[in-house]
């Protein structure tokens, strides 16, 4: 049995930045309430580690970031790596909260692009519905139109001076048919594919794998970029793919009698957790003994 560690893996720079901001905020304001508006990133282990630093989280899949602000009455609010709309920033100021921005620089760049273009035209945003990154971007202007699949494009109203852009964590495979549908409907549209380099590099690394029996993706099931890695595996000849949040998610039937097992991770997965999975699989390949550890090795950085 051969274990292949796919490179790159571990945190992207946007996640490293967000975690660093959260840690510094908690350390610099002892005794003050610090609340994260949503999950800092989509990984439960990162959230738990931040909670141990004294950071409170408000999260409800049924509520927007604007609505979640109603649950914060004082202190410091941290905006997550996914970004927020200008309305959220204004409401936080009106409530007298001290805002700390941990938005990923790639998302901020998309926001700047969107706001500049919407002064002169309409923008089609390819993103996942009810995802915080999409929510923050679509809320920037009434001229932003969210689409998730090709059929959505045909239901759009007539638009002027169209630009097309994307959520940063989508699959490079999945966006192409949607982009093409946009160009079929609006042939003169400008296309700005904003899938971030960290997401793109991880997806391309999976697509380059050869003769792999199983791909193990280490990531939270709420992490869009982790889910996309699992999905891509099925389109590039990998026989099986599993998404697990830690070594405790492994089952022997996933790996029994497999010759080549590859391991990758989402960009919000702590590297310590992925390394523990690789170490376990390496030991299993040597001994054939499937005895899971009692604890997950969770370190923020």
Distance CA 105, CA 179 (A): 24
Q: What is the DSSP secondary structure assignment for residue 29, as one 8-state letter?
A: S
pLDDT in tens, 149-184: 999 999 999 999 999 999 998 988 889 999 999 999
Let me know if 133 is a catalytic residue: yes
Q: Clarify whether residues 100 and 19 are in a common domain.
A: yes
pLDDT in tens, 180-213: 999 999 999 999 988 888 889 999 999 999 999 9
Domain count, the chain: 3
Assess if residue 282 is contained within a domain.
Answer: yes
Q: Is residue 210 classed exposed, middle or buried when 0-12, 13-18 and 19+ CB atoms within 10 A define those classes?
A: exposed
Q: Clarify whether residues 19 and 101 are in a common domain.
A: yes
In 7-148, beta strands by DSSP E: 34-37, 55-58, 76-79, 98-101, 123-126, 144-147
Assess if residue 301 is contained within a domain.
Answer: no
Assess if residue 125 is contained within a domain.
Answer: yes
Q: What is the DSSP secondary structure assignment for residue 74, as one 8-state letter?
A: S
Nearest to 219 by CA among 231, 236, 207, 237: 231
Q: Clarify whether residues 32 and 91 are in a common domain.
A: yes
Domain range for 139 is: 120-193
Q: Clarify whether residues 75 and 125 are in a common domain.
A: no
Whichever domain contains 222, its CATH number is: 3.40.1010.20
pLDDT in tens, 69-113: 999 999 999 999 999 999 999 999 999 999 999 999 999 999 999
pLDDT in tens, 253-294: 999 999 999 999 999 999 999 999 999 999 999 999 999 999
Q: How many CB atoms lie within 10 A of CB 269?
A: 29
Q: Clarify whether residues 182 and 149 are in a common domain.
A: yes
Give the dihedral sign, CA 297/299/300/301. negative
Assess if residue 295 is contained within a domain.
Answer: no
pTM of the model: 0.87
Catalytic residue among 133, 135, 252, 253: 133
Q: Clarify whether residues 46 and 101 are in a common domain.
A: yes
């Amino acid at each position: 049995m051969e274990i292949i560690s796919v490179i790159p893996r571990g945190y992207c720079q946007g996640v490293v930045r967000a975690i660093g901001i959260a840690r510094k905020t908690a350390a610099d304001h002892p005794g003050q309430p610090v609340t994260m508006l949503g999950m800092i990133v989509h990984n439960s282990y990162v959230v738990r580690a931040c909670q141990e630093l004294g950071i409170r989280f408000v999260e409800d899949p049924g509520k927007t970031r604007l609505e979640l602000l109603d649950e914060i009455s004082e202190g410091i609010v941290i905006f997550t790596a996914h970004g927020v709309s200008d309305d959220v920033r204004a409401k936080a100021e009106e409530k007298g909260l001290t805002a700390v921005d941990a938005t990923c620089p790639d998302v901020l760049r998309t926001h700047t692009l969107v706001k500049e273009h919407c002064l002169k035209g309409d923008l089609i945003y390819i993103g996942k519905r009810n995802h915080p990154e999409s929510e923050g971007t679509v809320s920037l202007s009434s001229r932003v139109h969210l689409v998730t699949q090709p059929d959505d494009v045909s239901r759009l109203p007539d638009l002027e001076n169209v630009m097309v852009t994307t959520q940063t964590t989508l699959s490079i495979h999945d966006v192409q048919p949607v982009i093409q549908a946009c160009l079929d409907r609006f042939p003169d549209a400008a296309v700005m594919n904003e899938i971030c380099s960290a997401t793109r590099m991880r997806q391309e690394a999976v697509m380059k794998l050869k003769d792999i029996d199983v791909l193990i993706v280490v990531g939270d099931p709420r992490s869009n970029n982790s889910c996309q890695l699992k999905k891509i595996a099925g389109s590039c000849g990998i026989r099986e793919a599993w998404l697990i949040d830690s070594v405790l998610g492994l089952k022997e039937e996933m790996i029994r009698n497999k010759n080549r097992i590859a391991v990758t991770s989402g960009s919000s997965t702590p590297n310590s957790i992925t390394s523990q999975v690789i170490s376990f699989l390496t030991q299993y390949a040597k001994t054939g003994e499937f005895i899971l550890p009692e604890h997950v090795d969770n370190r923020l950085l």
